[in-house]
Amino acid sequence: MVFLFTGSTMALSALDFLLASKKSEITGLQQLLQMGKLVGAISQLVHVLQRERGTANIYLCSQGKMWGDRLYGRALKVQQAEQIVHQQLAELDPMNSGLSNASRLFSRIAAFLHSLSTLPLLRKQVQELTIGQPEAMLQYCEAIRTHLALIFEAADASCDPLISRSLLAMFSFMQGKELAGQERALGAAGFAACHFTDRTHQQLLDLIDGQERCFQTFFEFADARCVALWQRQLAHDSSEFERLRRIACTLVTPIGQPQELALRWFELATTRIDGMKQVEERLETILMACCRQRILDAETSRLRQEKEMVLIPPHDNHYPALIPPQLSRSILELVQQQSRQLQAQDAELANLRSTLAERKLVERAKGLLMQHHAMTEPQAHKALREMAMKQNKKLVEIAEAIISVAAVLGKTSL
Amino acid sequence: MVFLFTGSTMALSALDFLLASKKSEITGLQQLLQMGKLVGAISQLVHVLQRERGTANIYLCSQGKMWGDRLYGRALKVQQAEQIVHQQLAELDPMNSGLSNASRLFSRIAAFLHSLSTLPLLRKQVQELTIGQPEAMLQYCEAIRTHLALIFEAADASCDPLISRSLLAMFSFMQGKELAGQERALGAAGFAACHFTDRTHQQLLDLIDGQERCFQTFFEFADARCVALWQRQLAHDSSEFERLRRIACTLVTPIGQPQELALRWFELATTRIDGMKQVEERLETILMACCRQRILDAETSRLRQEKEMVLIPPHDNHYPALIPPQLSRSILELVQQQSRQLQAQDAELANLRSTLAERKLVERAKGLLMQHHAMTEPQAHKALREMAMKQNKKLVEIAEAIISVAAVLGKTSL
């Protein structure tokens, strides 16, 4: 019967889509590499912004007596870091981007850029002492939170489990470092004013607690080399810093010369934070190396694929040709090879994605609490945890409840 | 102090990324619309392939005495449906695609196209009676399974919760319909051969059970109008069909004229399956309408966004200009608006994604069981469920265990 061997033209074959699949995999990895560069640039920006915040705190709490001369240099460093971020952002080519999930990422970048644009006014107010320390601190923290949210979104957009893990480790570590930065700023303010309130004591304790929590997540997802580096640093934490920590967390009026204590505290806390920056840089190096290796692997695999395709004897591309069984098996082997490779990542990616999704909801609920109930990040986290314990529910369930209540009240926001 | 007001050029602003975010959202929705068309074309292809399978079964089981004259028409319908799928695939433009998660999708399409290319040989063997009914049935089922896997992947690639829900409902319904198609084919084979084994009885019972399970998921995710349509059809299920079902599930040798019984069974089962096709078409119509509405909404929102941007007075695009607080608030309002809109979908999307991820793992574990232990889909599902109950674990945990064991044994596959 002849009918079986005539028919329509087969425009695109299985092999065409195999090549397209591999090409798309490589494009995705290249985009992740670009994202990795952006994350590195933001990590640097956050670092110098944290230092500017600490300096501004000391300046404000000493009624402009201390570190007025340092403000300029700090702001300059931030502007330099901003410039590098801008270069990376321009390379994303937003209007012609093939990035997946890009609408969420771009929306985050818009929020990030807006937060940067509020800094000049803040600096002017700090400079002129027309803003209080708590309010200035709040604005710096809010800006940094917007920066970190961008990194979290990048982790969520990744389709590679290994790279998602790296990004999640990086986000958690940066979050921990940010809490350390807040601790430095709050402590510096207290020492400079020579006064700690009960509220400040509790805030400091919460910040220390929060750092532990973030580093736990880091331990869970980070590369073993980064974990080792951080553990070595933890082993060398200075006892002097711990002593000042204890003073800041327990005394109302520290004994000693305010200026000296503030400077010493800031110096020690900065050494510690600079150590964290090293870990962060290591995390970034490994992230980039991981991206580059994955691209190389995918390229090698594409070359092998193309080579094997050449071995497939030319056959009629018109459907429905009766493809010889042997040829059909060769094609099937190639199809299954690609499929196996992608599916090997699926289970892990699925687990990571649900981890990320839960964290995203918790972060958002915390953000709402911070915004509408004037809480700090650790306070918001504590509040969530307590609600969860009381109601015997999971943290993420409480977070979902808070988000839906806020949605009903029209209070949803960044 | 002047330093605060000089600095680098701000290449891209928050507003640029806001526009890019909206544009990317619209592009994503347009790609989903295209995907919806592909899903519709595949639904039609699966439908005619199911009918070809049933016809081939009757032909083979009657030793070529019945329906030899129908084979040509069935194959022709399949080829016509294939042509439409090919048109849709060409529109995906795989080598220049900005589709997210495209490597997985394209890999599935490659597998799908390969399975189509195996059909001409299968038809030749059926025609010449050189293949047994069980083996032919297996090959048809495998091809259809590859088709359905493609639809599942499309649901997974969607970033819109409403559309993901629609696609998931569609996938579950198509899966249920496929089990109904297998029931028709198996029953037709039994009636045509005038013999049902104990094994066939059990297989039929499992297929009926499996349909229930799929339709439950459909109820969970489908639009209320589709659910109502399906419930109306269920209310009109024929008692004659149920009587033949009972005979097929319980008797070894049905009483009556084999040819007549087979024809009647096939006719009634086909009426039922054609009804399912109507529901499927309704699902597709609603899916497409949903896509189009979402695109319209996003376009409207983009126009409004652009209009509001025009209202923002022109300001120096060079950083760090001191943006007036009022202007800064206008930009913030726009940024938050977009962010709110995207985040409103996040919680639901997160839940859906984890549902999808679990289903994906379960589907894959079932696939492995089917391949390496020669099980049918309902048998594989039953085996998974029994293991889960015995070990007091979740279905997805058992699925993960099976997949990792298979990976170690090098048995992973499609």
Which among A17, A100, A107 is the nearest to B338, CB-wise? Answer: A107
> How far apart are the C-alpha atoms of B118 and A328, rounded to whole Å?
7
> How far apart are the C-alpha atoms of A170 and A42, rounded to whole Å?
11
Which residues of A, range 154-193, sit inside 8 Å of B by Cβ?
Answer: 159
Number of neighbouring beta carbons within 10 Å of residue B372: 13
Instruction: Report how far Cα A174 is from the mean position of its chain's Cα atoms.
Output: 7
With vertex at residue B363, the alpha carbon angle to CA B357 and CA B365, rounded to the nearest 5 degrees, is: 105
With vertex at residue B23, the alpha carbon angle to CA B21 and CA B25, rounded to the nearest 5 degrees, is: 70
Using the Cβ of A12 and the Cβ atoms of chain B, whether some distance falls under 8 Å is answered with yes
> How far apart are the C-alpha atoms of B264 and B164, rounded to whole Å?
38
Q: What is the pLDDT of residue A414?
A: 39
How does DSSP classify residue B4? Answer: G
> Do the chains contact at A336 and B413, CB–CB below 8 Å?
yes
Which among B24, B119, B336 is the nearest to A97, CB-wise? Answer: B24
Using the Cβ of B321 and the Cβ atoms of chain A, whether some distance falls under 8 Å is answered with yes
Using the Cβ of A117 and the Cβ atoms of chain B, whether some distance falls under 8 Å is answered with yes
Q: What is the pLDDT of residue A313?
A: 66
Which among B1, B159, B322 is the nearest to A101, CB-wise? Answer: B159
Number of neighbouring beta carbons within 10 Å of residue B237: 14
**Which residue in A has a C-alpha nearest to residue B22's C-alpha?**
A103
Percent of chain B with pLDDT over 90: 38
> How far apart are the C-alpha atoms of B58 and B62, rounded to whole Å?
6
Which among B3, B332, B344 is the nearest to A412, CB-wise? Answer: B344
> Do the chains contact at B103 and A17, CB–CB below 8 Å?
no
Position B30 confidence tier, pLDDT thresholds 50, 70, 90: confident
Place of tokens 């495998």: B142
- Contacts of the segment A382-389: beta carbons below 8 A, 24+ positions apart: A382/A206, A382/A209
> How far apart are the C-alpha atoms of A149 and B335, rounded to whole Å?
14
DSSP 3-state of B77: helix
> Do the chains contact at A22 and B103, CB–CB below 8 Å?
yes
Q: What is the pLDDT of residues B159-190, one digit of tens each?
A: 788 888 888 899 899 999 999 999 998 998 89
Q: Is residue A343 left, alpha or beta, with left meaning phi > 0 and alpha meaning psi from -120 to 50?
A: alpha
How much is the average pLDDT of B9-20? 77
Which residues of A, range 363-382, sit inside 8 Å of B by Cβ?
Answer: 364
Give the closest-approach CA distance of B231 to chain A in angstroms.
32
**The complex's ipTM?**
0.81
Return the CA Rg of chain B.
Answer: 26
> How far apart are the C-alpha atoms of A335 and A338, rounded to whole Å?
6
Contact present, B405 and B370 (Cβ < 8 Å): no
Question: What does each C-alpha distance from B326 to A140, A208, B329, B330 come to in angstroms?
Answer: 19, 37, 5, 6
Residue B10, pLDDT above cutoff 50? no
Contact present, B380 and B213 (Cβ < 8 Å): no
Cis peptide before B120 (omega within 30 of 0): no
Place of tokens 């806020």: A406
Q: Is residue A390 left, alpha or beta, with left meaning phi > 0 and alpha meaning psi from -120 to 50?
A: alpha
Q: What is the pLDDT of residues A79-105, one digit of tens each?
A: 999 999 999 998 887 776 666 568 888
Q: What is the torsional sign of CA B256, B260, B265, B268?
A: negative
Q: What is the pLDDT of residues B216-270, one digit of tens each?
A: 989 988 989 999 999 998 888 788 999 999 999 998 888 888 788 888 999 999 9
Tokens at B327, concatenated: 């202007």
Instruction: Report how far Cα B361 is from the mean position of its chain's Cα atoms.
Output: 15
Counting beta carbons within 10 angstroms of the beta carbon of residue B360, is it exposed (0 to 12), middle (13 to 18) or buried (19 or more)? buried
Interface mutation target, options B117, B355, B402, chain A, most CBs of A under 10 Å = B117
> How far apart are the C-alpha atoms of A307 and A316, rounded to whole Å?
19
Using the Cβ of B317 and the Cβ atoms of chain A, whether some distance falls under 8 Å is answered with no
Q: What is the pLDDT of residues B125-162, one digit of tens each?
A: 999 999 998 899 999 999 999 999 888 888 777 778 88
Using the Cβ of A315 and the Cβ atoms of chain B, whether some distance falls under 8 Å is answered with no
Which amino acid appears at position A351 of this protein? N
Contact present, A352 and A172 (Cβ < 8 Å): no
| φ, ψ at B386 (rounded to 5°) | -65, -40
Give the closest-approach CA distance of A14 to chain B in angstroms.
4
How much is the average pLDDT of B70-78? 94
Q: What is the pLDDT along chain A (414 residues), one digit of tens a residue?
A: 334 433 444 457 888 898 888 888 888 888 888 888 999 999 999 999 999 998 998 899 888 988 889 999 999 999 999 999 999 998 887 776 666 568 888 999 999 999 999 999 999 999 999 999 889 999 999 999 999 988 888 877 777 888 888 888 998 999 999 999 999 989 988 998 889 999 999 999 999 999 999 999 899 889 899 999 999 988 887 889 999 999 999 988 888 887 888 889 999 999 999 999 999 999 999 989 988 998 999 899 889 888 888 777 665 544 456 677 777 888 888 888 888 777 777 767 777 777 777 887 888 888 888 877 878 888 888 888 888 888 888 888 888 888 777 766 655 443
Q: What is the torsional sign of CA B360, B366, B368, B371?
A: negative
How does DSSP classify residue B201? Answer: H
Place of tokens 């993420």: A396
> How far apart are the C-alpha atoms of B397 and B343, rounded to whole Å?
30
Position B62 confidence tier, pLDDT thresholds 50, 70, 90: confident
Position B370 confidence tier, pLDDT thresholds 50, 70, 90: confident
DSSP 3-state of B9: strand
Query: Which residue from A54, A334, A333, A330 is spatially nearest to A183, judged by alpha carbons?
Result: A54
Number of neighbouring beta carbons within 10 Å of residue A270: 18
End-to-end Cα distance, chain A: 67
| φ, ψ at B309 (rounded to 5°) | -65, -35
Which amino acid appears at position B190 of this protein? G
Query: Which residue from B301, B5, B414, B123 is spatially nearest to A117, judged by alpha carbons?
Result: B5
> Do the chains contact at B103 and A19, CB–CB below 8 Å?
no
> How far apart are the C-alpha atoms of A147 and A138, rounded to whole Å?
14
Contact present, A300 and B98 (Cβ < 8 Å): no
Q: What is the pLDDT of residue A318?
A: 47
> How far apart are the C-alpha atoms of B338 and B345, rounded to whole Å?
12
Q: What is the pLDDT of residue A354?
A: 75
> How far apart are the C-alpha atoms of A122 and B357, rounded to whole Å?
45
Interface mutation target, options B18, B24, B404, chain A, most CBs of A under 10 Å = B24
| Residue extents of the structural domains in chain B | 26-293, 344-414
Interface mutation target, options A92, A107, A349, chain B, most CBs of B under 10 Å = A107
Which among B28, B75, B102 is the nearest to A3, CB-wise? Answer: B75
**Secondary structure (H, E, C), chain A:** CHHHHCCCECCCCHHHHHHHHHHHHHHHHHHHHHHHHHHHHHHHHHHHHHHHHHHHHHHHHCCCCCCCCCHHHHHHHHHHHHHHHHHHHHHHCHHHCCCCCHHHHHHHHHHHHHHHHCHHHHHHHHHCCCCCHHHHHHHHHHHHHHHHHHHHHHHHHCCCHHHHHHHHHHHHHHHHHHHHHHHHHHHHHHHHHCCCCHHHHHHHHHHHHHHHHHHHHHHHHCCHHHHHHHHHHHHCCCHHHHHHHHHHHHCCCCCCCHHHHHHHHHHHHHHHHHHHHHHHHHHHHHHHHHHHHHHHHHHHHHHHHHHHHHHCCCCCCECCCCCCHHHHHHHHHHHHHHHHHHHHHHHHHHHHHHHHHHHHHHHHHHHHHHHHCCCCHHHHHHHHHHHHHHCCCCHHHHHHHHHHHHHHCCCCCC
Q: For all residues of chain B together, what is the average pLDDT?
A: 85
List beta partners, residue A9. Answer: A318
Query: Which residue from B11, B14, B13 is spatially nearest to B334, judged by alpha carbons?
Result: B14
- Residues of A whose CB is below 8 A from B124: 4, 322
- Residues of B whose CB is below 8 A from A107: 17-18, 21, 335, 338-339, 342
Q: What is the pLDDT of residue B9?
A: 47
Which class in CATH covers the domain with range B344-414? Answer: mainly alpha
> How far apart are the C-alpha atoms of A106 and A94, rounded to whole Å?
8
Query: Which residue from B290, B302, B287 is spatially nearest to B24, judged by alpha carbons?
Result: B302
| φ, ψ at A318 (rounded to 5°) | -100, 135
Tokens at B256, concatenated: 């009556």
Which among B7, B89, B103 is the nearest to A25, CB-wise? Answer: B103
Give the closest-approach CA distance of A119 to chain B in angstroms.
8
A-B CB pairs within 8 A amount to 289
> How far apart are the C-alpha atoms of B84 and B81, rounded to whole Å?
5
Counting beta carbons within 10 angstroms of the beta carbon of residue B4, is it exposed (0 to 12), middle (13 to 18) or buried (19 or more)? buried
Least confident of A282-296, B96-110, B315-329: B315-329
Residue B86, pLDDT above cutoff 70? yes
Return the CA Rg of chain A.
Answer: 26
